Structure 1
Amino acid sequence: MRDGAAYDEIADWYEAEFLPQRALAEDELEVARTLRLLLGPGDGPCLEIGCGTGVYAEQVRALGRSPIGVDLSAGMLRYARDRLPTVWADAGRLPVSDGTLPAVVAVMVHTDMPGYAAVLREAARVLAPGGVFVHVGVHPCFCGGFADRTDRNAVLIRPGYRDSNWTKESWTDRGIRDKVGATHWPLSELLQMFLDAGLTFERFAEGGSPTPIVLAARARRSG
């Protein structure tokens, strides 16, 4: 996970200004629909990797599961603690025993984690037999420093999609990426990380229109 200091610096802005603005766009992202489709109803703990301020806890709880959050930003966790139980930890070294969790999710955070391959290995490690991992993230084909989404009906894709990199370049100055940056992987690299971590895909979903904003996947530990 990227150093939590960058998110510590924007935590108050994120809670007071960005979240109210983001709430208006949640239907556009279709995160709630995607979690219902891919995570689905269940019980027991569900670990949210990179929980931030815990804004998705209610959506996990609505499925009958008990959300627990882990994040590296103490500033973000100050707000998250009012929404779900939390642990301050690096997602690449989860303080969780092997094979113990029925569900793990990572929601709109993989671009914050340059070591996402290690995070996926950790997710696979802590999953119980039959457990499910759900990834919900920005769509690598249509979101990134190379994509200008000023006109949602005509997304402009510049050269750069094929480059794996970190950047603060963003089409808007009202979001997060121009403040803390983002890591991008082409679709093929991102999907390969799951396979290398020992995760087997079961289902995919996309969210947002007319051009997808979100790409999501459900996977289980192989073997």
Structure 2
Amino acid sequence: MAPTAAYDEIADWYENDFLPASRPGDPIGVQRQLDELLGRGSGTCLEVGCGTGVHAAQLKSLGWSPVGVDLSAGMLAYGRSKLPVARADATRLPVRSGSVPAVVAMLVHTDMGDYPAVLREVGRVLDEGGVFIHVGVHPAFCGGFADRSDPAAVVIRPGYLDGHWTKDSWTTEGVRNRVGATHIPLPALFQAVLDAGLTLTGFAEGGSPVPTTLAFRATKVRP
């Protein structure tokens, strides 16, 4: 499991160096997937693992009122200027049950050692009819087992089926070799959504020529 609040050590680098270099355009489709799967709405949208508040402006442009939680005080020091935030463990959200119409998790599930527990909390805090949007690195094509150094010939090595935490990465210029990543195979990820009482209602992928991200929408329906 990744160290507690690992992002505290890289918060300055992440906000001031990594983000400016990685943000031009929407190369892996993260903004597009959020637009398509969440869409326009109103009311509170809770972002779990909000970090420095990268997605707050887009959520506001869609009509939502974003609030965020994150474990890293260093990341929240940047995020608090962009949205209301609270420092909290995503497996124990400081949010009343059935109180929010939307929750999003943006490129964070590999940072969380127990994402199924996070999904159970998402199911708890969502109102009936509420939606959850997950946008994450693609379980089948991104991980310690995936060599993406040649975009035209991505190599998948043994290890996909092994849920694990690792700092192995195909690049030394990104986040994963600094804070590590927890890998969840695709069937386990989808099963955790169902176990949280959510119904999968939409999917999208981003990045090319091999997908980099997998996104889905899930809805909380009456039992």
Query: Is TM (by shorter chain) over 0.5?
Result: yes
1:5: which partner in 2?
5
The normalised TM-score by structure 2 is: 0.97
- Report the counterpart of residue 18 of structure 2 in structure 1: 18
Aligned CA RMSD, in angstroms, stands at: 1.2
For structure 1, the residue ranges without an aligned partner over 5 or more in a row are: none
Alignment of 1:128-207 (within 5 A): 128-207=127-206
1:118-151: CA deviations, max 9, x gaps?
1000001011111100000000000000001111
Tell me how far apart the structure 2 counterparts of residues 70 and 5 of structure 1 sit (CA, whole Å).
12
Secondary structure of residue in 2 paired with 1:70: strand
Q: 1:151 to 1:177 in 2, by over 3 A?
A: same
Provide the TM-score with structure 1 as the length reference: 0.97
Aligned equivalents of 1:2, 1:86: Cα separation in 2: 22
Cα displacement string for residues 161-211 of structure 1 (whole angstroms, at most 9, x for unaligned residues): 111000000000000000000000111111111011111000011111111
Distance 2:163 2:137 in 1: 15
Counterpart secondary structure, 1:27: coil
Aligned residues, how many? 222
| Partners of 2:113 and 2:4 in 1: CA distance | 13
**Aligned mates of 1:84, 1:109 — CA distance in 2:** 18
- 1:5 Cα offset (Å): 3.2
Q: Letter of the 2:61 partner, please give it.
A: A
In the alignment, structure 2 segments of 5+ residues that lack a partner are none
Distance in 2 (alpha carbons) for counterparts of 1:220 and 1:2: 29
Provide the secondary structure at the position in 2 that maps to 1:217: strand
Q: Deviations over 1:94-140 (max 9, x none)?
A: 01111010100000000000110010000010111111000000000
Q: Distance in 2 between matches of 1:165 and 1:19?
A: 26
Q: Which residue of 1 aligns with 2:29?
A: 30
Identical-residue share of aligned pairs (%): 64
Measure how far apart 1:68 and its partner are. Answer: 0.5
For residues 92 and 54 of structure 2, what CA distance do their matches in structure 1 show? 23
Look up the match of 1:75.
74
Structure 2: how far apart are the matches of 1:153 and 1:122?
Answer: 39
Give the corresponding residue for 2:119: 120
Q: Which residue of 1 aligns with 2:98?
A: 99
Distance 1:88 1:186 in 2: 28
Maintained 8 Å contact 1:169/1:177: yes
Tell me how far 1:154 sits from its aligned partner. 1.2
Q: Which runs of at least 4 in structure 1 moved beyond 3 Å after TM superposition?
A: 1-5
3-state SS, counterpart of residue 123 of structure 2: helix
The residue type equivalent to 2:201 in the other structure is E
- Aligned equivalents of 1:168 and 1:201: distance in 2? 30
